[in-house]
């Protein structure tokens, strides 16, 4: 006769089976990549500026050109932006957006000499460029620092007095030094020399992002605890302070630069972090958009090796060196042909951010070759920044 009763398993068998199911689940979870693990939890991002949308129908908005000017050092005409244009900053003035960008020629021995060009726009999308660079190496006191590599990667912010402050990189072919320049009209600039002096004069330094606050379509440098603050660096991020936006002192810890933001293994910024545009003082803290490079060996496996993506970090309003929060994931990555292939492949490098008629325009270098832009709509920008 057929036995229709339920098969009963010994308790020992059940316990052993349960144990091995637990081991299997732990093994499977542990085998996930760092990217998969960090995406498994929902992060509070209400403090961040999200989402930016690339304007793929108009990108890239600026390309290399055959413009010519007479180089005062070579004493000959040079096609100063023939090779590449990239790494732009932006500022609003008199109903127009001024876009400053790095341009390279093809003759400088360090992969082209860099100079700073300027283009202007009434809508932030379609630009008319000036025929000659507005800041470049010449026969002045800065030649020793700027020639023959050139002047790179500008960032501009306005002071309360209406003066514009530019941080830029001078490259002599061996050492990159962050420098300061100022202007009252965005066309004529006064060089003030390297930002770091004394024992740090010959130390590699780049990418200065000064803290400011939005006021309409402008961002004005703002003092915190009686001083202006700047994030800088292209390995870790460090800080400097100033009383006048011209002379700066690095923030030190144990006799060296104090690190305030570091690369993270397994993330998009696993190899290095580098300042983006100016930092923004908000009601939730100091918001810094930054660039991160993916490591070849212990980075985010979902990204190409060496890819540059964009991140965001939040620092304390009362202590700008104190990190409060940080996005786990990039908000911009190379995914368009002009971002994936160029002088340096797989690069979105953000440097320019400007509020414009209720929106935020973000300008970035693509593959160290062209310039693209992304947009953040009005509702989200007002929620985050005001």
Q: Where are the beta strands (DSSP E) in 197-347?
A: 209-215, 218-221, 228-232, 238-242, 248-250, 252-253, 256-257, 272-275, 279-282, 285-293, 308-315, 323-326
Q: Distance (Å, rounded) from C-alpha 129 to C-alpha 138?
A: 21
C-beta of residue 49 within 8 angstroms of C-beta of residue 380: yes
How high is the pLDDT of residue 42? 83
- Reply yes or no on whether the pLDDT at 135 is more than 90: yes
- Reply yes or no on whether the pLDDT at 4 is more than 70: no
CB half-sphere exposure, 46, CA atoms < 13 A: 4
The full set of domains in the chain, from first to last, is: 65-385 (2.115.10.20)
Q: Distance (Å, rounded) from C-alpha 17 to C-alpha 37?
A: 27
Indicate left, alpha or beta for 216 from its phi (over 0: left) and psi (-120 to 50: alpha).
left
Q: Distance (Å, rounded) from C-alpha 190 to C-alpha 180?
A: 9
C-beta of residue 151 within 8 angstroms of C-beta of residue 115: yes
b/e sequence 5-44, b meaning 16+ C-beta within 10 Å:
eeeeeeeeeeeeeeeeeeeeeeeeeeeeebbeebeeeeee
How high is the pLDDT of residue 339? 98
How confident is the model over 75-125, as pLDDT tens digits?
Answer: 999 999 999 999 999 999 999 999 999 999 999 999 999 999 999 999 999
Higher pLDDT, 381 or 116: 116
C-beta of residue 189 within 8 angstroms of C-beta of residue 172: no
Average pLDDT, the chain: 90
- Reply yes or no on whether the pLDDT at 342 is more than 90: yes
DSSP H helical ranges for 265-310: none
Helix (H, G, I), strand (E, B) or coil at 307: coil
The percentage of the chain sitting over the pLDDT mark of 70, rounded to a whole number, equals: 87
Residues facing residue 89 across a β-bridge: 100
Torsion angle of C-alpha atoms 295, 300, 301, 305, degrees rounded to 10: -30
Indicate left, alpha or beta for 100 from its phi (over 0: left) and psi (-120 to 50: alpha).
beta
C-beta of residue 127 within 8 angstroms of C-beta of residue 104: no
- Reply yes or no on whether the pLDDT at 379 is more than 80: no
How high is the pLDDT of residue 193? 98
How confident is the model over 186-237, as pLDDT tens digits?
Answer: 999 999 999 999 999 999 999 999 999 999 999 999 999 999 999 999 999 9
Dihedral pair phi/psi, residue 177, rounded to 5°:
-125, 125
How high is the pLDDT of residue 41? 60
Instruction: State pTM to two decimals.
Output: 0.89
Segment among 9-18, 77-86, 347-356 with least mean pLDDT: 9-18
pLDDT bracket for residue 385 (50, 70, 90): low
The H-or-E segment that residue 384 falls in is helix 378-385
CB proximity list for 33: less than 8 A, separation 6 or greater: 266, 300, 301, 302
C-beta of residue 184 within 8 angstroms of C-beta of residue 192: no
């Amino acid at each position: 006769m057929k036995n229709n009763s339920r098969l009963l398993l010994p308790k020992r068998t059940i316990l052993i089976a349960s144990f091995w199911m637990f081991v299997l689940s732990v093994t499977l979870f542990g085998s996930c990549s760092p990217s998969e693990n960090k995406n498994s939890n929902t992060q509070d991002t209400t403090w961040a500026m999200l989402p930016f949308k690339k304007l793929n129908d108009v990108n890239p908005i600026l390309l290399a050109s055959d413009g010519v000017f007479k180089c005062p050092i070579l004493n000959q005409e040079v096609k100063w932006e023939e090779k590449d244009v990239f790494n732009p900053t932006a500022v609003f003035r008199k109903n127009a957006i001024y876009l400053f960008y790095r341009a390279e020629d093809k003759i400088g021995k360090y992969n082209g000499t860099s100079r700073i060009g300027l283009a202007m726009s009434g809508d932030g999308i379609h630009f008319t460029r000036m025929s000659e660079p507005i800041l470049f190496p010449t026969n002045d006191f800065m030649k020793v620092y700027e020639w023959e590599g050139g002047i790179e990667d500008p960032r501009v912010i306005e002071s309360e007095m209406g003066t514009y402050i530019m941080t830029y990189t001078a490259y002599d072919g061996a050492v990159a030094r962050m420098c300061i320049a100022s202007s009252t009209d965005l066309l004529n600039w006064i060089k003030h020399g390297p930002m770091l002096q004394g024992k740090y004069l010959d130390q590699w330094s780049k990418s200065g992002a000064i803290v400011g606050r939005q006021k309409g379509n402008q961002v004005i440098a703002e003092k915190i605890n009686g001083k202006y603050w700047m994030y800088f660096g292209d390995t870790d991020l460090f800080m400097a302070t100033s009383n006048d936006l011209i002379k700066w002192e690095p923030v030190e810890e144990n006799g060296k630069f104090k690190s305030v933001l570091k690369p993270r293994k397994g993330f998009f910024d696993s190899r290095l972090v580098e300042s983006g545009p100016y930092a923004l003082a908000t009601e939730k803290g100091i918001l810094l958009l930054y660039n991160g490079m993916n490591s070849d060996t212990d980075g985010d496996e979902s990204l190409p090796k060496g890819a540059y993506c964009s991140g965001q970090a939040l620092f304390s309003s009362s202590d700008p060196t104190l990190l409060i929060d940080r996005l786990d994931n990039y908000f911009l990555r190379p995914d368009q042909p002009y971002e994936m292939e160029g002088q340096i492949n797989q690069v979105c490098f953000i440097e320019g951010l400007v509020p414009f008629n209720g929106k935020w325009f973000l300008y970035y270098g693509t593959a160290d070759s062209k310039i693209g832009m992304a947009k953040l709509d009005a509702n989200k920008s007002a929620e985050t920044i005001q």
